[in-house]
A and B are shown apart, each in its own frame.
Chain A
Amino acid sequence: MRIYEDLRAVQTRVTVLQYATVALIGVLLVIFWHLQVVRGRYYRNLAENNRRRNVPIAAPRGVLLDRNEQILVENRPSFNVVLSTERTDELDGTVGRLSQLLQLGEAPIRERLPRRGQPARDVIIKADANIDDVAAVKARRLEFPDADVQVVPLRSYPLGAGAAHVLGYVGEVNDQQLQSHAYEGAEAGDVVGQSGIEQQYNRSLMGKDGLREVIVNSRGAEVGEAETRLPIVGPSAMLSLDAALQATAVQALGNRPGAAVALDPNTGEILLMTSVPAFDPNRFAKGMDAALWRGLLTDPDTPLINRVIQGQYAPGSVFKIVTTIAALEEKIITPETTFHCPGVYTKYGNEFHCHQGGPHGTVNLTQAIAQSCNVYFYNVGVKLEIERIARYAKMLGLGQVTGVDLPQEAAGVVPSPEWKMKRFKQPWWPGETVTVAIGQGMTATALQLARLAGIAATGKMVTPHLVKRVGDTPWPSPGPKDLGIKPETLAALHRGMQAVVAPGGTGWRAGLPGTSIIVCGKTGSAQVVQRSRLAKDASEENQPHGWFVAFAPMDKPRIALAVMVEHGGSGGQAAAPIAHEILAKFFGVAPVRTTPPVVIAGPIG
């Protein structure tokens, strides 16, 4: 028989422990009440943020159409192989194996990976992947849980290099652009217009990206879809370009560096705009290839420059249109005024030569324009004086941007005593007026000269533009501005320009013989070296740039154009045949192949 121990003291302490346990569990319950019931909504949101991720769906940019609704720029679906960089621990191996699978170099991929400290994002491993690549990646989902194939709209330019400068190209927005006002609303990774119409109308064309809200697990892999907001396609835009006319100009210009532009002189609608050499914007759409880009940047022929609006050349004898209007308006001459051309003009102790077509003998205005007689316009220019020449040049749209709806238009230079003092800190030398009168010692763009031809045709100045409407919004045309040029002045000018294109004129090759369409034109050549040097060395780079501007038909002008062939020699031989092809296409007549447009020696105005 055992004696039971006295456990009373022990039992008291057990009770203490029991209530202590109740108290502690009670405290825990209060804390869980607070966490789950009081703060439940807050933690529910955190949990949702954990598992939901927003994946943008790129909105296709607006389609660009020509004036006949032919497609100039469209979008095609393409596949991008992308890699999530969320999980950094396995990134290195994944990149290695993935580049092997897709047969790509590893280095360019690693270049694109986010640097240390940069946030994780999806990196495009291969843009515009083919169906084999897509299949290979999709089949190895388990091996590459972070790789994915995205369907993205890719910009497609059916005209290729033929309209590269005017339409522009697209590319991923860069850091500098993200800061600028022009690209407001764009986010890192967005594809934006980088030049041409694509840049100018970027914001209108961009559309609105959609959003896919996906559910991801802790490894970042997508396990489901929560919600999808479809992208809104950018509005399509109709351009005033005529794709067929553009193609004709591209073909006529061939691979000779130069430019061609044509517009409707009544409205300013640009019908064609081409610049050679060019590039293929389709190659940029997939993402910029660094080697290709460097090649284009360093090419001495500057293929990235749009020569129509950025190339600044001396207008040469095309400027005689300005001199003529100024002289007639200022009553310096009448259409019947004659000057004698002995082949050389002596003034201020210098000899100013007519071109090699001279001496022209005694010529009136019509003959002077038709033969592009320099001596006639030397005389006129000296009487006009530089101030009035500059004033008329500006009035007729030179020395200032035309306001065309393209980025980075150049203004050209109209010289004047004030300009020279400001620019070179030197006084004006009267002899300079003589050369300015025939369009040397100044610069203009092809677009300015095409518009000048339009002003010569109608007496009205238009704002050249490319977009007719974006979506349903028409281009806000300021309308043509009447410059108040007297009809007699225009009539006299037309007689001269008609004679240029008529047989015996310097621009006869541009005419449309056998039709009732009267073409008015003016040739020009922009000297690049002194006459004396050209006489010694007639190699191509010393040849002047050949100009030809025209409008037609004379009585009811519908088209005004400018063609420039770099180092083409005379405008009549190099540029006029190209203008002929464009005009023939425009009026729907068969072109007459006179002589093949070849470079010839000797500067003939």
Chain B
Amino acid sequence: MVDRRLLFNMDWVLLGAALALCAIGVATIHSATYSGHNAGLYLRQLYFVMIGIGVLAVSLVADYRRLADRSPLLYLLALILLVAVFFGPTIANTKRWFRLGPVLVQPSEFVKLVAALFVAKVFSESKKDTLGLFDIALPGLAVGILAVLIAAEPDLGTAACLVPLFLAVAFLAGLRLKAILGLTIVAAMLGAAAWVFALQDYQKDRVYIFIGAKKDPKGKGYQSDQSKIAVGSGGLTGRGYKQGTQAQLGYLPARHTDFIFSVLAEEIGFVGVVVVLGLYLLVLWRGLETAHLARDRVGAFLVVGIMGALSFQVIYNVAMVAGLVPVKGLPLPFMTYGGSSVLSSLLAIGLVLNVRMRRFAN
């Protein structure tokens, strides 16, 4: 059972900020979809959030150290699930899901949490004060396998999340600056190799178009352009809730999923952007603050791993909405429509709370 002392150490600010983002997300999804055939989605999202809160509460019961101890087992389970999706349904030419009753579950969203537990566990066992490239090679390979499997679905965005997750923990565990430099070089080489061998044409096109090196005859820059127009036209105070022409007239693609922030920026304006980015900053800051308070390395590492992935997702998604980076299918945590994303985001917060709650406990 949950010790009453544990509740005393609950971070209500962190939880409140995360739930506020969820609420803003539901409202924005409502605005983005109420006039179309997706009109009921905001209600579904609301249910997902409520389920998420329940799952979060239940997850607090289990001690994060016990979870970390069992992370090799969880890692194996993750591998099985990621292989299993290749036998699942194909949606929009991707195999990211399997069906569970009325809902589609996206395992990769939860694999991020497993990876955080696993990486935290592995690095916490290291007795060295500083780490070189060689020291992180094996755990890197383990995470790399997960990333490759996710990238093969294909879901490049989610796969990319594992990189900052891993690096943040490695950095915390004492990765030397020289090694970080070396890693950058290796990453560049891997990137070049991927460009030649692994990247699909559509992915290359996105990059070409983004850097302006290629004309855009089929309108592949359309999403980015329309999102920028939506954001910019919002101005200081926005065009009004449900009044954004880009969102309401359908010029904005994926407006209740990856581009949800664009709808918010258009309709609520810079004011809304400041509030929401402020809330994200609060979540990230308070989350990382937990790493200060953690009673052990594995707790600190777990928190930083989770926050690494989360901050990457937030920053990349928002930068994408502003047209700064190429379009990638990457959900905005808490706000984007989708059960797996909401659940995994709230579970992530749950793990952070878990670490904080047990800072004094045995």
* The one of B228, B270, B300, B362 that contacts A10, using a Cβ cutoff of 8 Å: B300
B324-A21 in contact (CB<8A): no
Q: In the complex the two chains form, what is the Cα distance from A48 to B308 in whole Å?
A: 39
Tell me which residues across on chain A come within 8 A of B292, comparing CB atoms.
11, 14-15
A216 within 8 A of B: yes
Residue total for B at the interface (Cβ-Cβ under 8 A):
50
With A21-B311, A25-B315, A218-B250 known as contacts, the answer to whether A11 contacts B291 (CB < 8 A) is yes
| Residue pair A5, B297 in contact (C-beta under 8 Å) | yes
Segment of A30-38, A552-560, A571-579 engaged in the interface with chain B:
A30-38
A28 contacts B232, C-beta separation under 8 Å: no
Please classify the interface of chain A as helix (H, G, I), strand (E, B), loop, or mixed, using the class held by over half of its residues. helix
A47→B233 contact, CB < 8 A:
yes
Contacts of A50 in B (CB 8 A): 226, 229, 245-246, 249, 251
| Cβ distance A146 to chain B, nearest Cβ, rounded Å | 15
* Residue ID in chain B nearest A11 by CB atoms: B292
Q: Say whether A28 contacts B319, CB under 8 Å.
A: yes
Q: Is B3 interfacial (CB 8 A cutoff)?
A: no
Q: Do B265 and A47 touch across chains, with their CB atoms under 8 A apart?
A: no
Closest Cβ of chain A to B333, distance in Å, is: 14
Q: Does B274 have its Cβ within 8 Å of any Cβ on chain A?
A: yes
Residues of A close to B235: CB separation below 8 A: 36-37, 40-41, 44
Q: Give the shortest distance, in Å, between A430 (CB) and chain B (any CB).
A: 77
Q: Bound complex: CA of A42 vs CA of B231, how far in Å?
A: 11
In the complex, what distance in Å separates the CA atom of A10 from the CA atom of B230?
42
**In A458-503, which residues have CB < 8 Å from any B CB?**
none
Q: Contacts of A11 on B, CB cut-off 8 Å?
A: 291-292, 300
Known contacts: A35-B322, A37-B270. The answer to whether A13 contacts B277 by CB under 8 A is no
Give the docked Cα–Cα distance between A44 and B230 (Å): 8
B172:A14 contact, CB within 8 angstroms: yes
Residue B221 CB within 8 A of the other chain: no
Are B232 and A42 neighbours in the complex by a CB distance under 8 Å? yes
Given known pairs A14-B304, A36-B273, the reply for A22 and B281 (CB within 8 Å) is yes
Query: Does B326 sit within 8 A of A, measured CB to CB?
Result: no
The CA of A119 and the CA of B94, in the complex, are separated in Å by 35
B114 is an interface residue with CB less than 8 A from chain A: no
Separation of A400 and B273 alpha carbons in the complex (Å): 79
Given A46-B229, A50-B229, are A217 and B249 neighbors across the interface (CB < 8 Å)? yes
Q: Is the CB of A32 within 8 A of B322?
A: yes
Chain A hits for B234, CB < 8 A: 36, 40
A332 within 8 A of B: no
Q: How far is the CB of B171 from chain A (nearest CB, A)?
A: 6
Pair A22/B285 contact, Cβ less than 8 Å = yes
Cα A215 to Cα B248 with chains together (Å): 12
Whether the pair A17, B249 counts as a contact (CB closer than 8 A) is no
- For window 227-267 of chain B, which residues contact chain A by CB distance below 8 Å? 228-236, 245-246, 249-251, 265
B171 adjacent to A17 (CB under 8 Å): yes
Q: B233 to chain A: which residues have CB within 8 Å?
A: 40, 43-44, 46-47
Q: Is B307 an interface residue (CB 8 A)?
A: yes
Q: Would A10 and B245 count as touching, CB distance under 8 A?
A: no
**B150 beta carbon closer than 8 Å to chain A:** no
Contact B288 A14 (CB under 8 A): yes
Residues of chain B within 8 A (CB-CB) of A35 are 228, 231-232, 322
Residue on B with the closest CB to A217? B249
CA distance A279 to B269 in the complex (A): 64
B residues less than 8 Å from A219 (CB atoms): 250
Q: Which residues of A from 215 to 244 have beta carbons under 8 Å from B?
A: 215-219, 223
The reply on A7 being an interface residue by CB < 8 A is yes
Ranked 3 nearest A-B pairs via Cβ: A43-B232, A218-B250, A47-B233
4 other A-B residue contacts (CB within 8 Å) besides A28-B322, A32-B277, A35-B228: A7-B294, A18-B284, A21-B307, A31-B324
Binding site for A on B (CB under 8 A): 129, 168, 171-174, 226, 228-236, 245-246, 249-251, 265, 269-270, 273-274, 277, 280-281, 284-285, 288-289, 291-292, 294-297, 300, 304, 307-308, 311, 315, 318-319, 322, 324, 362
15 interchain pairs, CB-CB under 8 A: A10-B173, A15-B292, A25-B277, A29-B277, A32-B265, A33-B270, A36-B234, A36-B236, A40-B235, A43-B233, A44-B233, A47-B230, A50-B246, A217-B251, A218-B251
